[in-house]
Amino acid sequence: MTNTTTLTIDGFTLTAAQVVSVARAPHLPVTLAQSSRTALKESRDFIEATWMHDDAPMMYSFNTGVGLLKDTRIKVEHIALFQTQLIKAHCAGIGEPFSEEVSRATMLLRANAFASNYSAPRVEVVDRLLAFLNAGIHPIMPQKGSVGASGDLAPLSYLAAAIAGFDEAEVMYQGQRMRAPQAITAAGIAPVKFDLQAKDASALINGCTASLAVAVLVAHDARHLLTDACLSLGLTLEAMRAEMAAFDPRIQQARPHAGQIKTAAVVRKLLKGSTRTTHEARAVQFPEESRRTDIPYTARIQDVYSLRCAPQVYGPVFDALDYIDNIVDKEINSATDNPLIFGKEGGGFEIISGGNFHGQYLAQAMDLMAMVMTDLGSICERRVARLIDPTLSWGLPRNLMSGVRGVNTGYPVVQCSLSSLVMENRTLCMPGSVDSIPAKGNSEDHVSNSTWCARKAATVVANTQYIIGVEMLLAAQALTMTETLLPDFVLGQGTQAAYEEIRRQIPACLDGDRWFHDDILMAQSFVVTGSVRNAVVEKIGAFV
């Protein structure tokens, strides 16, 4: 539930788009639904009245140790100390911290999981998480150390330590890294030291919520990236005066995968009205185009795979993202710690131990994400390689170079950098979800590795943003350099809008080599900001 100014969480209705709006600026403030507040209080009142004594049944992590210490009873007098010691023992992360947006998403997702009233922390724990979120206090959580079962124990322990006000815990607050108590004081949150009680600590640290936070953001970015890859494809088709028969809807219906049909339809919409992608445009011989001149120009018939097979390559990416979104959407509104509490028919509650903390769904989804994004980047990079080679691009200027030949080089090293990203992405496609090392005395004898799977998928998506942005940039460069050769031919309605927005932001390179590092950063910004995508939508409406 949400209005224009506040998001209300209830554990069941949170969307991925809302998670992104909270994680990224401008930050949407969050509050807990009254229905969830009432339910949490009811279950907690039952716990306090029924189980908080030393003769209560043994319930995992309520009044027992964890892991192989599951059969060791924790006396009521030690339960508060147990919360503190549990967090300290699990603060064993390594490496650079997650970004602040991942920290924000993690806090929101953990609070939302509690709001469903399956986890049984006190409602004050949810309030504390939301207080941090709304104040902009972002726990520092090392990226390495979780194996994705029993949840993201290490990173979430740092989050728990921060909200509890541990002296050792660190946070980011107003752009500064500082100790948690200092930020809590500065933000005016009370109390500075927040006492944790039975089940609070295990609820906070159990579940693959850091993996999920990364996955939500990755899935969001991948969607936009695929849309931009359709634009970069369209611009390259224009630059190479492509043969459009391969996008005929009849071909797609003969192999009716949803993603393939969608890709071809997107391309047709973007290139609607194009006369550069016609036989007449292809009949114009470019200066560097190798072609017999003693006979009439004959039809090209068909293009190379990186152009002609785009529906068959992009299509599986569309379909994979649908599958991944389904996993992520379910995980957002899932209770993923252990044990869980359920209402009993006739009144009261019972505790059931299970394995919802296991991150295999996320791990496999993020491995798939890495693979499809890598292949998307791979086909785009191959088109970039063609754009700078006149023997492969039907006569586009070599290296898309301007100025004195030899003195200037053009864009081949930029393309080489993209090749390095493709190779890095391919290495990151090694599945992490099949790599399991037993942990904690073999009590965790199969783990998911979900955190690593999500982290490497995020790296692949970030790399591919550069690849697709550069394809946009170099296709636009090719269009500018050949526009005087085809003065009577026009771009499609969508590709024209994309081309105009690129040229609005950066002029073509027509006076010799320049500081291409800035070109690459500008190309990446096309994707990260969505500026080109938005300009096309403004012109022709939604096209994906």
| C-beta separation of 368 from 316 below 8 A | no
Token pair belonging to 185: 């004081």
Tens of pLDDT, residues 293-308: 888 888 889 999 999 9
Q: What is the pLDDT of residue 66?
A: 87
Active-site option among 60, 158, 361, 499: 60
CA 238 from chain center: how many Å?
30
| pLDDT one digit per residue (tens) for the chain, 544 residues | 445 689 999 999 999 999 999 999 778 899 999 999 999 999 999 999 999 999 999 888 888 988 888 889 999 999 999 999 999 999 999 999 999 999 999 999 999 999 999 998 999 999 999 999 999 999 999 999 999 988 899 999 999 999 999 999 999 999 999 999 999 999 999 999 999 999 999 999 999 999 999 999 999 999 999 999 999 999 999 999 999 999 999 999 999 999 999 999 999 999 999 999 999 999 999 999 988 888 888 888 999 999 999 999 999 999 999 999 999 999 999 999 989 999 999 999 999 999 999 999 999 999 999 999 999 999 999 999 999 999 999 999 999 999 999 999 999 999 999 999 999 999 999 999 999 988 878 888 899 999 999 999 999 999 999 999 999 999 999 999 999 999 999 999 999 999 999 999 999 999 999 999 999 999 999 999 999 999 999 999 999 9
361 counts as catalytic? no
Q: What is the pLDDT of residue 540?
A: 98
Q: What is the pLDDT of residue 296?
A: 86
**Which of 192, 217, 56, 89 minimizes the C-alpha distance to 135?**
192
Task: Label the pairing between strands 7-9 and 94-97.
Answer: unpaired
**Which of 306, 288, 486, 292 minimizes the C-alpha distance to 399?**
288
Report CA Rg, the chain.
Answer: 27
Nearest-angstrom CA–CA distance, 327 and 391: 45
End-to-end Cα separation, the chain, in angstroms: 26
Q: What is the pLDDT of residue 3?
A: 52
Q: How many CB atoms lie within 10 A of CB 89?
A: 11
Task: Label the pairing between strands 94-97 and 142-144.
Answer: antiparallel
Instruction: Give 77's DSSP letter.
Output: G
Tens of pLDDT, residues 481-511: 999 999 999 999 999 999 999 999 999 999 9
Q: What is the pLDDT of residue 4?
A: 63
Which amino acid is residue 180, in one-letter code? A
